[in-house]
Structure 1
Amino acid sequence: MPILLSLAAFLMTLLGGLVADRIGRHRHLVLGFAAGVMLGVVAFDLLPEALSATSLTLYGVPVPMLMFAVAFLGIHIVERSMGMHDAHETDYATHRHHRAGVGLAAGSALIAHSFLDGAAIGAAHQTDTSLAVAVAIGVIAHDFTDGFNTYTIISLYGNARRRALTLLTLDALAPVTGATLTSVISIPDGLLGAYLGLFSGFLLYLATSDILPEAHTPRRATGWTLTATVLGTLLMWGVIGLTD
């Protein structure tokens, strides 16, 4: 049963990525909406779950929040360091390679998160079948946006469409793999909370420093883009509220 439930998540993830692939000239709306979705995921899902997963603190600060700050500052330092290189034609390809690498790292983090979504379905099934169904509904509901964000982020950082589709496929397969391997993989609560905090910082940095500025370039319809961002955030509030 966990595998069957995770197959629905697989289909929703693919659908989200394929929708992002077909948008075309409305890319600024896609980016604005994706940024809002990412903000909603961090604020309404990842951070609350991270804080509930562990009560560990370091110098009075919860470990997930420390990891959140570490990820946000870490990716900022890496990007600023890369940006300090002179943009000569001779090193432009190298610079693009580094940006593509950031996109791949972001996609990999989303795949890891999708794997944990599948693992959550399998773990819930070991406790109670009805709980597994409830968890699966939540996973399926936001896996559309997971696929949407995976394709959008990887493409934004200069990766080819074929590579973006490959990582989208891996992201779609990740919940199925997680649900299948739950019986042999057990993540301690403390480690899970730290991971979720780290992932939250990484995701929020990408949304605020790269995706939103790209969406609001002077040639874009800023008012509609802002509306799309707000709608993305509200959508995640509604999805998480309905599935809690």
Structure 2
Amino acid sequence: MTAVLVAAAAFLMTLVGGWVAQRTGDRRHLVLGFAAGLMLGVVAFDLLPEAVRAAPDEIHGVPQALLMFAAGFLTIHIIERAVAIHRSHEGEYAAHTHGHGHHDHARQGIGLTAAGALVGHSLMDGFAIGAAFQAGTTVGTVVAIAVVAHDFADGFNTYTITRMYGNDRRRALTLLAADAVAPVTGAAITLLFTIPVEVLGLYLGFFAGFLLYLATSDILPEAHSPHPSRTTLLCTLLGVGFMWLVIGFAD
């Protein structure tokens, strides 16, 4: 039950992250820059190392988790190209101008899929808390601190990504609520059974590739298109540094 109670703190932190994301106003470019930094930090310092540890077996000399990482990146790339979200010959930081109808729905679907993946990640965070407490109180406490801290970023990114892809505020709030409930649900499920470690590693690798694509191909260009400023770049660096500190303290 301790794990479930700790996961409740992650629930609150996720909502705080979403609340901050809603109140950005004309500082949207700074928010997007910071969100991209958070996502890059999560991929580099959290998801990939954990994925490789959980699924280290190699196929033709490459860890399975890294193959899934490439698969995640390419999957979202292929989906975006298939629905023609990005027009040909857009400038590297050109503003996105999308048509209506089918393309708008497809674009919204990408945002919902990305936010849904973040909810899945938060569910795994809950699993991590539950499994850590099964290993011992000290391990559980350290993992819980890391999860609670970076669930702020999860809530922030869930709301931001959903809205950035053209979804309305109601959908964004619904997914934010799902993201907040997910770690509590994950921790509760570990009271019944656990997911095989290797399967979890493969999932984390795939999700890392998914997030990296969104951060570099969509969010950063979107952040720089209206305000190509040093301040936006600084926010990205701050996002990466923040995740480095959070994960470093947890180790």
Q: Same-fold call, TM > 0.5?
A: yes
Question: What is the alpha-carbon distance in structure 2 between the residues aligned to residue 11 and residue 18 of structure 1?
Answer: 11
Which residue matches 2:223? Answer: 215
Is there any run of 5+ residues in structure 1 with no aligned partner, and where?
none
Query: CA 1:51–1:207 in 2, change beyond 3 Å: closer, same or farther?
Result: same
Is there any run of 5+ residues in structure 2 with no aligned partner, and where?
88-98
* Cα deviations by residue, 1:12-37 (Å, 9 ceiling, x for unpaired): 00000110011111000000000011
Which residue matches 2:82? Answer: 81
Structure with greater helix share of residues: 1
Give the counterpart of 1:177 among 185, 189, 193: 185
Question: What is the alpha-carbon distance in structure 2 between the residues aligned to residue 114 and residue 162 of structure 1?
Answer: 20
Which residue matches 1:165? Answer: 173
Within-5 A mapping of 1:102-121? 102-121=110-129
Which residue matches 2:92? Answer: none
Which residue matches 2:27? Answer: 26
Give the counterpart of 1:228 among 231, 235, 248: 235
* Cα deviations by residue, 1:56-109 (Å, 9 ceiling, x for unpaired): 1111111111011111111111111211899xxxx7221110011011111111
Which residue matches 1:191? Answer: 199
> 1:237 and 2:238 equivalent?
no
CA RMSD of superposed structures (Å) = 1.4
Give the total of aligned pairs.
239
Kindly indicate whether the alpha-carbon contact (under 8 Å) linking 1:56 and 1:190 is maintained by their aligned counterparts in 2.
no
Question: What is the alpha-carbon distance in structure 2 between the residues aligned to residue 38 and residue 128 of structure 1?
Answer: 29
Question: What is the alpha-carbon distance in structure 1 between the residues aligned to residue 102 and residue 55 of structure 2?
Answer: 41
Within-5 A mapping of 1:149-160? 149-160=157-168
Give the counterpart of 1:101 among 109, 131, 135: 109
Deviation at 1:132, TM superposition (A): 1.4
TM-score under structure 2 normalisation? 0.92
Question: What is the alpha-carbon distance in structure 1 between the residues aligned to residue 116 and residue 198 of structure 2?
Answer: 21
Secondary structure class of the residue paired with 2:101: helix
Give the share of equivalent positions with the same residue, in percent.
Answer: 60
Deviation at 1:183, TM superposition (A): 2.3
Kindly indicate whether the alpha-carbon contact (under 8 Å) linking 1:3 and 1:176 is maintained by their aligned counterparts in 2.
yes
Kindly indicate whether the alpha-carbon contact (under 8 Å) linking 1:34 and 1:149 is maintained by their aligned counterparts in 2.
yes
